[in-house]
């Protein structure tokens, strides 16, 4: 057995202090306050009430390439975020819902209250909102890792198709917006027509996928779509998200 020297004691003490400091630094790196600003970049589409949440790594609002949950379907087809809020609450997520106090109009921005993740495992950020008018299109961020370093982080955000409803682009269907009922719930920006024959049938890709955008047409009393391509058509990205991280 090697004798214990003063030097070895000092080395061990130094290592213990270094590990303790590293552990404290790691813990403090996630003692964060997060503020999220969402801007609608579309020309003529609205976002339904937004759901923004910081959550743990086991929680997901959606996954591209996988089938939508019933809670996601309710949001994507009708803007109903209540089931997603319940799911997040069960996982002790830090939730901010409907920061805009209703629809978020084209070109407008909204900012959440401060989301405090201190003392939690909520190191990931997600957000969703339905795009109106669409059948089951939504703007979404899935499990973005919140940086440990304080700063301001900006990202373009894509629109997704839930894959749960045909993109027929037809308004006026009874109970449109209810899960499983085909039809566009409404066109808040106006300019929608009637008498469309249906822009598209059921998706061949029935998992969550990047949305191909609204087709629309310029015939207010017929054509394939009830939506006006001059107003409602959009391409990705559809939103800008700015995340401010503070210690």
Q: Is 189 helix (H, G, I), strand (E, B) or coil?
A: coil
pTM of the model: 0.86
Q: Is 114 helix (H, G, I), strand (E, B) or coil?
A: coil
Residues 178 and 174: their CA atoms lie apart, in Å, by 9
Q: In the structure, what pLDDT confidence band is assigned to residue 3 with cuts at 50, 70 and 90?
A: low
Mean pLDDT of the chain: 89
CB 225 within 8 A of CB 200: no
Residues 198 and 169: their CA atoms lie apart, in Å, by 6
Q: What is the pLDDT of residues 36-77, one digit of tens each?
A: 999 999 999 999 999 999 999 999 999 999 999 999 999 999
Structure tokens at 67: 């089938």
31-246 has CATH 3.90.226.10 classification: no
* The pLDDT of residue 7 is above 70: no
Residues 165 and 189: their CA atoms lie apart, in Å, by 22
DSSP secondary structure, 17-84, as one string: HHHHHHHHHHHHHT--EEEEEEEE--SS-EEPSPEEEEE-TT--S--TTSPPPHHHHHHHHH---HHH
Q: In the structure, what pLDDT confidence band is assigned to residue 30 with cuts at 50, 70 and 90?
A: low
Q: Where are the domains of the chain?
A: 1-29, 31-246
Residue-level pLDDT at 5: 52
Structure tokens at 93: 């997520």
What letter would DSSP give residue 67? P
Residue-level pLDDT at 172: 81
CB 46 within 8 A of CB 100: no
* The pLDDT of residue 16 is above 60: no
Q: Mean pLDDT, to the nearest integer, of 130-158?
A: 97
Q: Mean pLDDT, to the nearest integer, of 203-213?
A: 95
């Amino acid at each position: 057995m090697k004798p214990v020297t003063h030097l070895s004691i000092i080395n061990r003490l130094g290592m213990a202090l270094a590990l303790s400091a590293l552990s404290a630094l790691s813990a403090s790196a996630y003692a964060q306050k997060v503020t999220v600003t969402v801007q609608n970049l579309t020309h003529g589409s609205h976002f339904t009430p937004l759901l923004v949440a910081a959550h743990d790594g086991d929680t997901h609002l959606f996954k591209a390439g996988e089938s939508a949950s019933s809670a996601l379907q309710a949001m994507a087809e009708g803007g109903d975020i209540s089931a997603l809020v319940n799911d997040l609450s069960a996982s002790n997520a830090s939730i901010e819902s409907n920061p805009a106090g209703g629809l978020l109009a084209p070109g407008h921005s909204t900012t959440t209250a401060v989301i405090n993740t201190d003392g939690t495992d909520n190191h990931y950020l997600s957000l969703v909102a339905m795009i109106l008018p669409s059948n089951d299109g939504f703007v979404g961020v899935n499990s973005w890792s919140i940086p440990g370093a304080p700063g301001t982080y900006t990202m373009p955000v894509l629109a997704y198709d839930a894959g749960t409803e045909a993109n027929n682009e037809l308004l006026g269907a009874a109970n449109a917006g209810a899960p499983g009922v085909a039809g566009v719930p409404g066109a808040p920006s106006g300019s929608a027509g009637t008498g469309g024959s249906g822009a598209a049938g059921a998706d061949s890709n029935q998992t969550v996928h990047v949305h191909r955008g609204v087709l629309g047409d310029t015939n207010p009393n017929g054509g394939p779509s009830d939506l006006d391509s001059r107003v409602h058509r959009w391409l990705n990205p559809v939103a800008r998200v700015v995340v401010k991280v503070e210690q």
